[in-house]
Structure 1
Amino acid sequence: MSEVMIYGAAGYTGRLCAEEFVRAGLQPILCGRQEAVRAVAERLGLKSAVFDLNDPGETERQLKGVRLLLNLSGQFLTTQKLLIEACLATGAHYVDLAGEVEDTSNAFTFDNQARRANIMIMPGAGFNVAPSDIVAGLAKKKLPDANELVIALATDGGVSRGTLKGMLSHIDHPGHRRVGGVLVAARPAETELEFQVAGRRFRAVYDPWLGDLFTAGVSTGIANISTYSVFPGLAVAMMKGRLLWLRDLILNHLMPLLPEGSSARQLRDGRTFVVAIASNGRTQERVALIGPEAYRFTALCLREITRAVLAGKWSPGFQTPALYGRELLEGMEGVKWD
């Protein structure tokens, strides 16, 4: 049995991750709910298993001997609970790509159980949280008395159908802002932010769903956190409640016609931009980076977190990627500090 299991390996991100692991000399077992995962595993020369998470006994049986489970299957509010409970029962560490507030905060509810079971639970291990959580932690180190944190993201590249479907399904729904250590209601695109990374200027809008609103609260302890992302103009209009007929048209009719994810060129040439600005009301400290294309960045983060866990570098209970600090990103292909 492999020491690493990838659940959701037949999806776009799952396949990219599996391919990256093989290039790195890792041999995960590829799993999922559909038979399509077997074809991916056969192409890569890996073992595979197909099982439904609604059978806890079977899930636990499949996890026997596994040291680390990577949950790359969407609908994290559903898959997260079932797989974390199986990890608690079998002693496997749990890592996923949950990138929104509800998902990351839900994983935190298992903190005490994970400590008792001596396993690590780490949501947000992909681009949407990991790099920004790390730069947020570095900004806090530069300004230990910071009481405000702003995080902003921008991407050059494509978007997978799964990501687009998830975003459009709630694009006009309220989210959160962290104020005084408490998550309060906030509207999408309610404010704007201009920021600069490596000489490029960006105009972002408020993104009230980003998991950093929860994870950075845990990792930095900063009481006031705001998160911004750069979106296309049509998406910003939908966030403000306009053009929702177009949202419905895409979700109900056009989704199957869209590319499955980033093209080979986008994966090669795409870039990501992340900045965290910590403030204490008198002084600001800024940490920023340029990274590879978002889905490629996700696969690389998962690769490095996996290597760390297998090397014994982990801590029990709920953890955020800031646990690994700058070291996780040092030397990673395509990462440059600004």
Structure 2
Amino acid sequence: MLCIYGAYGYTGELVAETAVEAGLDPVLAGRNGARLADVAAANDCEYRAFPVEETGANLDGVDTLLNCAGPFVDTYEPVVDACLEHGVDYLDITGEIAVFEGIAARDGVAADADATLLPGVGFDVVPTDCTARHLADRLPDATHLELAFAGLSSVSRGTALSALESLGQGGAVRRDGRLLHRPVAHATRRVPFADRERTVTAIPWGDLATAPWTTGVPNVTTYAAIPQVARLGMRGSRFLPSAGLRLAKPLLQTLVERTVEGPSERRRERGRAEVWGEARDERTGESVQTRLTTPEPYALTADAAVAAAERVLGGDADPGFQTPGGAFGAAFVTDLPGVSGFDDL
């Protein structure tokens, strides 16, 4: 049985609806019983209301748990610990580097428990991770990997709150296998997406943690296409005192809670996202590129998360820490509805 935790959040509700449409009969879970009851009634599902600290006492009959409750840095540890204790497979839709790193550190424990740990089964990081896998399959001796995406024009409350958690932490890259800090928005480049060429800005995306696992490539940089004014604002934030950022964070969190709702159904249906990647071998100068077009990121997240959960329930993922591209191969993303690619360059 599949348990979807955080099923009344913006993305969690989409995932729950998609799971039911796929023929699954998930049990829905979360902290807020009243909100959970409404979603459960709308989807004709069982529900269990409990905080993450009580996950272990609420896993009766559960084979796989899909965590949709962010910020994941606040929720993953007690949920993962409970899943490992009870031999339950764990999935989530995080994009937070610290969460990937923390879960990867439990690889050996998960293997011993015969449990799969598979974070990042949404837009963070399925399209980019599968792109990384595709590029590594084409150039197995690659030393460097660059990944970029465009199209995340509107975010949910959970995504915005997760972004606030990293406020003031700056940027990052992976170099020689090590995660290194860099100034926020430290680099830009031009990328030939399928729709048009764009300027992309370096950001600390989850692939900095997952791509080395998926591909073995030790040098990774991740980028996003963001408006110029946002890029300038990110660079300007380097000069703000850390104390000021800490003081501002609670105010910004309150603002997000009151105002951010996520993209409308119309935008989810019509929106698209673009993904591009390049792998190169610095020793030979050889390089390969590819690109991918996907549905709107939240629509893709719902489809990808449910597809991953079905695969894990069916025994298609090995025990231990896994990444989407590592567990299911590059074709996992191209098999999802509405995805076009890989378009190799």
TM-score normalized by the length of structure 2: 0.91
Is the Cα contact below 8 Å between 2:171 and 2:202 reproduced in 1?
Answer: no
Question: Could you tell which deviates more after superposition, 157-166 or 6-15?
Answer: 157-166
Deviations along 1:6-49, whole A, 9 cap, x unmatched? 00111000001011111111111110011211110111111101
1:271 aligns with: 272
Is the Cα contact below 8 Å between 1:172 and 1:239 reproduced in 2?
Answer: no
Moved over 4 A (4+): 242-250
Distance 2:23 2:81 in 1: 29
1:54 alignment partner, SS class? helix
Q: How does 1:196-275 map to 2 (within 5 A)?
A: 196-208=192-204, 210-242=205-237, 251=252, 254-256=255-257, 258-275=259-276
Q: How does 1:128-143 map to 2 (within 5 A)?
A: 128-143=124-139
Which letter does structure 2 place at the counterpart of 1:328? F
Which letter does structure 2 place at the counterpart of 1:296? A
Question: Could you tell which deviates more after superposition, 117-126 or 160-169?
Answer: 160-169
The verdict on how the C-alpha distance between 1:111 and 1:269 changes in structure 2, with shifts beyond 3 A counting, is same
1:20 aligns with: 18
Deviations along 1:202-222, whole A, 9 cap, x unmatched? 2111102x1100110111111
Distance 1:8 1:126 in 2: 14
2:314 aligns with: 311
Following superposition, the deviation at residue 50 of structure 1 comes to 0.3
1:53 aligns with: 52
2:5 aligns with: 7
Following superposition, the deviation at residue 169 of structure 1 comes to 4.8
Q: How does 1:288-299 map to 2 (within 5 A)?
A: 288-299=291-302
The verdict on how the C-alpha distance between 1:61 and 1:24 changes in structure 2, with shifts beyond 3 A counting, is same
Deviations along 1:119-175, whole A, 9 cap, x unmatched? 100111110211111110110110111100001011154211221233245344323
Is the Cα contact below 8 Å between 1:157 and 1:293 reproduced in 2?
Answer: no
Following superposition, the deviation at residue 257 of structure 1 comes to 5.2
2:334 aligns with: 330
1:312 alignment partner, SS class? coil
Is the Cα contact below 8 Å between 1:172 and 1:238 reproduced in 2?
Answer: no
Is the Cα contact below 8 Å between 1:6 and 1:14 reproduced in 2?
Answer: yes
Following superposition, the deviation at residue 269 of structure 1 comes to 0.6
Following superposition, the deviation at residue 265 of structure 1 comes to 1.3
2:176 aligns with: 180
Is the Cα contact below 8 Å between 1:125 and 1:302 reproduced in 2?
Answer: yes
1:106 aligns with: 102
2:201 alignment partner, SS class? strand
Deviations along 1:46-89, whole A, 9 cap, x unmatched? 1101012223xxx2231122111001111322311101111112
The verdict on how the C-alpha distance between 1:220 and 1:335 changes in structure 2, with shifts beyond 3 A counting, is same
Distance 1:198 1:138 in 2: 17
Which letter does structure 1 place at the counterpart of 2:170? P
Is the Cα contact below 8 Å between 2:144 and 2:218 reproduced in 1?
Answer: yes
The verdict on how the C-alpha distance between 1:86 and 1:284 changes in structure 2, with shifts beyond 3 A counting, is same
Distance 1:249 1:60 in 2: 30
Is the Cα contact below 8 Å between 1:195 and 1:203 reproduced in 2?
Answer: yes
Distance 2:253 2:70 in 1: 19
Following superposition, the deviation at residue 253 of structure 1 comes to 6.2
Distance 2:251 2:277 in 1: 33
The verdict on how the C-alpha distance between 1:167 and 1:60 changes in structure 2, with shifts beyond 3 A counting, is closer
Which letter does structure 2 place at the counterpart of 1:289? L
Which letter does structure 2 place at the counterpart of 1:228? Y
Is the Cα contact below 8 Å between 1:150 and 1:227 reproduced in 2?
Answer: yes
Is the Cα contact below 8 Å between 1:172 and 1:240 reproduced in 2?
Answer: no
Distance 1:273 1:287 in 2: 11
2:217 alignment partner, SS class? coil
Is the Cα contact below 8 Å between 1:203 and 1:230 reproduced in 2?
Answer: yes
Is the Cα contact below 8 Å between 2:5 and 2:65 reproduced in 1?
Answer: yes
1:329 alignment partner, SS class? helix
Following superposition, the deviation at residue 287 of structure 1 comes to 2.2
Q: Which runs of 5+ in 1 are unaligned?
A: none
Is the Cα contact below 8 Å between 1:77 and 1:106 reproduced in 2?
Answer: no
Following superposition, the deviation at residue 301 of structure 1 comes to 0.6
Deviations along 1:188-211, whole A, 9 cap, x unmatched? 211102112224222111102x11
Question: Could you tell which deviates more after superposition, 310-319 or 249-258?
Answer: 249-258
Following superposition, the deviation at residue 98 of structure 1 comes to 1.8
The verdict on how the C-alpha distance between 1:97 and 1:331 changes in structure 2, with shifts beyond 3 A counting, is closer
Q: How does 1:64-83 map to 2 (within 5 A)?
A: 64-83=60-79
1:150 aligns with: 146
Distance 1:49 1:296 in 2: 25
1:304 alignment partner, SS class? helix
